[in-house]
Amino acid sequence: MTTGQQKSRGRFITLEGGEGAGKSTQISRLKVDLENAGLDVVLTREPGGSEGAEQIRKLLVEGDVGRWQPMTEALLHFAARADHVDKVIQPALSAGQWVLCDRFADSTMAYQGYGHGLGAGKINELYQTVLGDFTPDLTVILDLPVEVGLARTTGRAGQEDRYERMEVEFHQRLRDGFLEITNAEPTRCAVVDATRSEDGVYSDVRQIVRDRLGI
């Protein structure tokens, strides 16, 4: 294949937010719309997304709330992320596919950096070591009051509720962290009010993608 025939690199979009924000629903709808627009789309998630990362995921989202020290937790997230980016995300982007990811490194900044108090500096050091200058093209942060989000998670089936069981104060710190991230990187990030109906939230998400990425 000649240079002129090579596929252009795909785009990388992440959805972020606290517990109960509705990320999975919104990102699934976006995948359908982008595919209908003629794009080849890969839907993935963090922690997880690759075989190795999914194994690490179980260590993070299941079990006792206090099973890890904050730095251990951050290291596990970045270990999973390194495998995910290497095995799934980068190959897809290089092939011209668009990648939609339910959570990425901003969650580590919000959850471990702000929620657990490690601080932005330590998370940024890990980011640079593992990812260098690799970053999403667009990050949409679904924002809602902590009490509303946690109420939505009540009664969910499954064992992946370790973070949901953490104290309300932790969740408030991580919410504040997501908003700080947006304030620091307004070109990459956009906040959507996630307290509204599913359709109302999605209308905003879809418009942001149109405005920022032209599709």
User: Quick one: CA torsion of 64, 68, 73, 77, rounded to 10 degrees?
Assistant: -50
pLDDT reported for residue 165: 94
Tell me which residue range forms the domain holding 209: 12-213
Residue 7: inside a domain: no
Confidence bin at 170 (pLDDT 50/70/90) = very high
pLDDT reported for residue 4: 44
Look up the CATH number of the domain holding residue 77. Answer: 3.40.50.300
Residue 2: inside a domain: no
- Please state, rounded to an integer, the average pLDDT across all residues of the chain: 95
Residue 3: inside a domain: no
118-122 average pLDDT score: 98
6: exposed, middle or buried (Cβ count in 10 Å: 0-12, 13-18, 19+): exposed
Residue 78: inside a domain: yes
Residue 132: inside a domain: yes
ω into residue 47 within 30 of 0, thus cis?
A: yes
Confidence bin at 3 (pLDDT 50/70/90) = very low
pLDDT at residue 5 greater than cutoff 50: no
Predicted confidence (pLDDT) per residue in 6-42, tens digit: 579 999 999 999 999 999 999 999 999 999 999 999 9
Residue 206: inside a domain: yes
> Which has the closest alpha carbon to 136: 83, 175, 190?
190
Residue 175: inside a domain: yes
pLDDT at residue 2 greater than cutoff 60: no
Compute φ and ψ for 189, nearest 5 degrees: -105, 150
Residue 136: inside a domain: yes
| Structural domains in the chain (count) | 1
Confidence bin at 154 (pLDDT 50/70/90) = confident
pLDDT reported for residue 159: 79
Residue 168 C-beta-side C-alpha neighbours within 13 Å:
7
pTM equals 0.94
At CA 134, angle to CA 35 and CA 130, rounded to 5?
Answer: 125
